């Protein structure tokens, strides 16, 4: 479906008061067209109409010219992330081509958040997409948890097998005796 058709459907949803459906459609468009920042702005407007200021601020965060309501929503979003640049960066979920917005307010904001996150946590997710995203490897803690679960299952199986052997021996001893 072309973007213009979906945008028209979103406008109809908003006119009909179906903000939930408009929100869903906009999320789909933001996912499909991550470089189009106007979609994020529109999604912020829908969240504001739904009275979710922190979520509205999340989608307005990359806007350069903000109204007082937009600035207040962005502040609510920052507070919801504990004013932590890493959490803000992760919550923004920008998946577009950074080269297209590098010289814009949005690009500068994303790079500033990345630098602040690296300074504070010595880590920040890479904003540059490689085009070949691979799933993260399970960490050491996940592997050790999996090993413990496996060991517990093996022990439970051995215990069940032992109890069956004792039961069979007991039944045979009673029948023979």
Looking at the chain, the whole-number percentage of residues with pLDDT higher than 90 is 74
Helix (H) or strand (E) holding 4, with range, is: helix 3-15
**Mean local confidence (pLDDT), 96-103:** 87
Q: Residue 94: which domain range?
A: 3-121
**Mean local confidence (pLDDT), 16-26:** 96
**pLDDT value of residue 100:** 87
- Is the domain of 117 the same as that of 58? yes
What pTM did the predictor assign? 0.70
Kindly tell me if the per-residue pLDDT of 135 is higher than 50.
no
Domain total in the chain: 2
Kindly tell me if the per-residue pLDDT of 96 is higher than 80.
yes
Say if 132 falls within a structural domain. Answer: no
**pLDDT value of residue 99:** 84
pLDDT band for position 82 (cuts 50, 70, 90): very high
Say if 134 falls within a structural domain. Answer: no
Q: What is the mean pLDDT of the chain?
A: 89
Range with the poorest average pLDDT among 22-26, 38-42, 80-84, 101-105: 101-105
- If we measure between CA atoms, which residue out of 85, 98, 106 comes closest to residue 38? 106
- Is the domain of 153 the same as that of 97? no
Given 106, 121, 136, the domain boundary residue is 121
**pLDDT value of residue 141:** 60
Total Cβ atoms within 10 A of residue 78:
19
Angle, alpha carbons 102-108-113 (nearest 5°) = 125
What number of CA atoms fall less than 13 Å from residue 33's CA on the CB side? 16
Say if 70 falls within a structural domain. Answer: yes
pLDDT band for position 133 (cuts 50, 70, 90): very low
- Is the domain of 79 the same as that of 166? no
**pLDDT value of residue 118:** 92
- Is the domain of 33 the same as that of 102? yes
- Is the domain of 117 the same as that of 148? no
**Mean local confidence (pLDDT), 13-21:** 95
Say if 49 falls within a structural domain. Answer: yes
The token pair that represents 21 in the structure block: 């459906």
pLDDT band for position 144 (cuts 50, 70, 90): confident
- Is the domain of 56 the same as that of 99? yes
**pLDDT value of residue 140:** 55
Say if 131 falls within a structural domain. Answer: no
Looking up residue 54, the CATH number of its domain turns out to be 1.25.40
Could you report the per-residue pLDDT of 70-81, keeping only the tens digit for each? Answer: 999 999 999 999
- Is the domain of 116 the same as that of 149? no
Match 């960066």 to its residue by tokens: 89
- If we measure between CA atoms, which residue out of 89, 91, 86, 61 comes closest to residue 73? 61
Say if 171 falls within a structural domain. Answer: yes
Say if 17 falls within a structural domain. Answer: yes
């Amino acid at each position: 479906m072309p973007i213009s058709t979906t945008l028209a459907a979103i406008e109809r949803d908003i006119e009909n008061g179906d903000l939930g459906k408009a929100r869903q459609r906009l999320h789909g468009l933001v996912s499909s067209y991550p470089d189009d920042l106007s979609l994020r702005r529109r999604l912020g407007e829908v969240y504001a109409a739904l009275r979710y200021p922190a979520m509205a601020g999340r989608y307005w965060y990359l806007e350069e010219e903000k109204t007082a309501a937009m600035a207040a929503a962005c502040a609510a979003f920052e507070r919801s992330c504990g004013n932590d640049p890493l959490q803000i960066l992760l919550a923004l979920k920008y998946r577009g081509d950074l080269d297209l917005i590098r010289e814009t307010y949005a690009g500068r904001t994303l790079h500033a958040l990345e630098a602040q996150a690296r300074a504070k946590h010595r880590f920040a997710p890479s904003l540059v997409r490689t085009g070949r995203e691979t799933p993260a490897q399970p960490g050491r803690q996940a592997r050790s948890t999996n090993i413990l679960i496996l060991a517990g299952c093996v022990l439970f199986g051995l215990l069940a097998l032992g109890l069956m052997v004792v039961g069979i021996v007991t039944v045979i001893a009673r029948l023979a005796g």
